[in-house]
Structure 1
Amino acid sequence: MSKLVREVALDALLQVEKEQAYSNLLLNQLVKKNEFSKRDVGLLTEIVYGTIQRKNTLDYFLSPFVKNGFESIEQWVHVLLRLSVYQMLYLDRVPERAIIHEAVMIASRRGHEGISGMVNGVLRSVQRQGQPSFETIKNEKKRMSLELSFPKWLVSRWIDQYGEKDAKAICQVSNQPPSVTIRVNRLKATVEEVIERLRDEGMDVERGHLSPDAIIVHSGHVLSSNLYKEGYMTIQDESSMLVARALDVQDNMHIVDACAAPGGKSTHIAERMNNNGQLYSLDLHKHKMHLIEEQANRLGLTCIKTKALDARLSGDYLQGEQFDRVLVDAPCSGLGVIRRKPDIKWSKKPTDISAIQSIQQELITVLSKHVKKDGKLLYSTCTIDKEENEGTVENFLKEHPQFELDRTLSSRLPKKLVEFGRYSPGMVTILPQDFLTDGFFIACFNKVR
């Protein structure tokens, strides 16, 4: 591994710590900025994501060897120790002596002789003595928190909501790297045809395990393939692909997607409408409109009309119009996508969930006014928190008797999902361990009067 990779990894981790930078976006920028080899890109990604994923476990391993506590050392030194121990304990491709040597060199360049000596001493102590056991921790939630590297409040919350077995599985799977999955544009080809053509381009792919529109990519760079450039596919997680089908989209409908960027669900809805009818794709962030438009152009979709606005203030723009379908894919805590964005678990607090739930409640209330009688309203999130999901549904139904849960939703979901045990009439939860997809929630309502 080039020396530069560890320096860049350290800088990236410091930005995440200091500025709450999003690790996935930051890594993309750093890869573009530095001309890394494919091998170095893989290792940089693994070090950054892995160090973030295992942050409090790494601190638990380090704490016996940092004499006066982490408060006594500068932040960059603390992060350097973390990323070095991550490599020593979780990567077997790099010799420990090389990891320690490079950490000492970085400490010398950035600090002084005393710091490099301390870094050398701590890492050699970890190498010599190994990591402390988790068995000595008597408190079950604290032990799970440190062993599986999640904040104790989140472990406790998931145990309360799902039980210890599922909570542990959520943590374990959320520490694993996600699959790359693509959604086939059925206006251009079948799933089987795209699989065959991707294999012809030398990629290792198979059918998805949950969505009928999905292909899992085991190896190969899909974004550079001719098929991607020609609009035969979109990068999207399998659980997210279920939304457009759950919405019961048909030709020539008028539909609103209220929180649409970056456009995965909007483009899928347009494909399901056979590019007929009218789809309004709204999003709060003006700079994200081009993402939706770029995807629509690449996929050959012309029925999408984009508009940057806060969907809670959409009344003037929609001018009281009633729609066949309204999708509220609401902003959420993102606790279902920790595999893709590991920094989420350290940046969120319990108060954040309550705050965002009130926004979700406001969004679904405002958008429900634009659903015509006998139309459908679909609420979805990429979180698995019951306050944000079932709690929002319960509050909405209590205040809006003209809506009821759509009991026909099951007919539009994969049979294996309905039978799995987390479906109740009109809504479904998908945990990350269920089908190795993102954690997700879908609820569909009918407007009955």
Structure 2
Amino acid sequence: MTPAAQVSAAIEILEKLADNRRPAGDVIKEWGLSHRFAGSKDRAAISSLVFDALRKRASSAFVMGENSARAVMIGALREARGLSPEGVGLLFSGEGHAPAPLTLQERERLEQGTLDGAPAHVRGDYPEWLGEKLEAAFGSEAAAEGAALSARAPVDLRVNIIKASRDQAMAKLAHLGAAPTPLSPFGLRILPGADGRGPALAAETAFIKGLVETQDEGSQLAALLCGAEPGAQILDLCAGGGGKTLALAAQTHNRGQIYAFDDDGRRLAPIHERLERAGVRNVQVRAPRGKADVLTDLEGRCDIVLIDAPCTGTGTWRRHPDAKWRLAPGALEQRQQDQRELLDQAVRFVKPKGRIVYVTCSLLREENEDQISAFLGAHPAFSALPASDVAEKGGLPELARFASPHGVGLRFSPLTSGTDGFFVAALQKGDVV
């Protein structure tokens, strides 16, 4: 397929996405199945175009003066890819499978359209209904935070220190341009190419042999801030595919015991292969078994209970730009209920002086500081650790500068820390000395 034909395909997919709230990946896959002539490189290029357009959907529509799929794609080629009006015009030639030529109005908007006077939600490329909530979290920086969340994310890797040092892993990935992450001592970062695509890591020897795992630097920091020590008893209450479980196993040097649980056994399925590849030996996977309580033996025994809570995922929009346009107010309410239940559930597993570490990949106060405040009001036996103490226990005292201005916990975001958006709070059973 020619680049112009790929743009046509991307517009077609965007039109389908405008009619429903389905994940973009599903619609892109369906398009590929019904257009077998498109090779893997074509599909990857089309996917990248679609996600760039979704990243800049609001600002592109504003610049172009309309919100059709075609207008959004035209605007995104300028806003996300930096193409000149002449460069966009070459793709919209009307020849072969190219989109119809640019109209006079479209060319004028490309040449003269700006974001001057645009409201914050347009400049930040997020849904208008979230405006108040993001302003409550970031104040006058809400639009800037949103714009940072609409940029492409790098590929971050966590070096598995059970098998290799960061220098050793970096040497094996030097051909990909891997460089140290600025905050995580175990992270490597690979910048995306000009087309937004990352490397095929699954084919890399370092990945196959378990020297590295894909994990955003913010997620790595969240695991480090658990302050896990060798010999600790740790319950990962929402383990999912096991990303933070693996990080905790490396931190404890395979000593102690980590229990990986998730109330949806299907989410746990990938963890077994990942544990084997990483050489992890101190993790027990506790999959749900009907109505049986598979965690009853852990009551009052855990040094750390990690809650990697289900949330709106507002902090991951760089990687999942379609998610921000699919998010509905009802989903926020449901996630808040899930979070409250998990916090209440975690209480029974914590031993005296043990900790609950609460983590979200959300930037909304409703899911973060507000949840912690409500929990502390309902559970007077627990006390919040100051951000400086959490950072110190994690061996990264410099992270104290990310202390939340809205209460306890630490906040990370693309604008402030160069990571995905994360919130981390530690709650100790007993008074904090």
TM-score by length of 2: 0.85
- Please state whether the residue corresponding to 1:280 is helix, strand or coil: strand
Shift of 1:84: 3.8
3-state secondary structure, aligned to 1:209: coil
1:281 has 2:257 as partner: no
Offset of residue 431 of structure 1: 2.3
CA drift at 1:342: 0.9
Match of 2:21 in 1: 20
| Greater displacement, 245-254 / 45-54 | 245-254
- Tell me the residue number matched to 2:195: none
Are residue 169 (structure 1) and residue 161 (structure 2) matched?
Answer: no
Query: AA paired with 1:58?
Result: S
Cα deviation, residue 213, structure 1: 1.0
Q: Distance in 2 between matches of 1:36 and 1:398?
A: 57
For the residue of structure 1 that corresponds to 2:60, the secondary structure is helix
- In 1, are the aligned partners of 2:61 and 2:71 still within 8 Å (CA)? no
User: Equivalences for 1:11-160 in 2 at 5 Å?
Assistant: 11-23=12-24, 36=39, 38=41, 40=42, 43-63=45-65, 78-87=68-77, 90-91=80-81, 92=83, 95-102=87-94, 105=97, 123-130=103-110, 132-135=113-116, 137=117, 143-160=119-136
Residues 58 and 198 (structure 1), Cα distance of their counterparts in 2 relative to 1, 3 Å cut: closer
Per-residue CA distance 1:13-58 (angstroms, 9 max, x = gap): 34543442333566578789776465x4564243111211222233
Say if 1:270 and 1:303, in contact at 8 Å, map to a contact too. Answer: yes
**What residue in structure 2 maps to residue 429 of structure 1?**
411
Judge conservation of contact 2:240–2:262 (CA < 8 Å) in 1: yes
Q: Distance in 1 between matches of 2:92 and 2:147?
A: 28
Deviates more, 1:167-176 or 1:226-235: 167-176
Q: What is the CA–CA distance in structure 1 between the aligned matches of 2:282 and 2:32, rounded to whole Å?
A: 35
2-side partners of 1:103 and 1:241: how far apart?
48
Are 2:422 and 1:440 equivalent residues in the alignment? yes
Provide the residue aligned with 2:180 in structure 1: 207
Alpha-carbon distance in structure 2 between the residues aligned to 1:186 and 1:268: 9
Q: In the alignment, is residue 218 of structure 1 matched against residue 191 of structure 2?
A: yes
Q: What is the 5 A alignment of 1:304-315?
A: 304-309=283-288
Deviation at 1:343, TM superposition (A): 1.6
Preserved CA contact (<8 Å) 1:262 1:291: yes
Aligned residue type for 2:186: D
- Residue 250 of structure 2 aligns to a residue whose secondary structure is helix
CA RMSD, aligned part only? 3.1
Cα distance change of structure 1 residues 15 and 129 upon mapping to structure 2, 3 Å threshold? closer
Which residue in 2 is equivalent to 1:196?
Answer: 171
Equivalent residue of 1:317, what SS?
coil
Shift of 1:366: 0.9
Q: Which has the higher helix share?
A: 1
Amino acid at match of 1:445: L
SS of 1:281's equivalent in the other structure is strand
Pair 1:34–1:249, CA change in 2 (3 A): farther
Give the structure-1-normalised TM-score. Answer: 0.82
Q: Distance in 2 between matches of 1:335 and 1:30?
A: 27
Q: 1:101 to 1:348 in 2, by over 3 A?
A: same
Distance apart, 1:195 and its partner CA: 1.3
Q: Give the corresponding residue for 1:325.
A: 304
Residue 296 (str. 1) matches residue 272 (str. 2)? no
Stretches of structure 2 lacking an aligned partner (at least 5 in a row): 193-198
Structure 2 letter corresponding to 1:79: A
Unpaired segments of 5 or more residues in structure 1? 65-69, 71-77, 108-118
1:183 and 2:158 aligned: yes
Residue 112 of structure 1 corresponds to none
- CA shift for structure 1 position 372: 1.4
Shift of 1:261: 1.4
In 1, the alpha carbon distance for the partners of 2:37 and 2:349 equals 48
- Runs ≥4 residues deviating over 6 A: 28-34
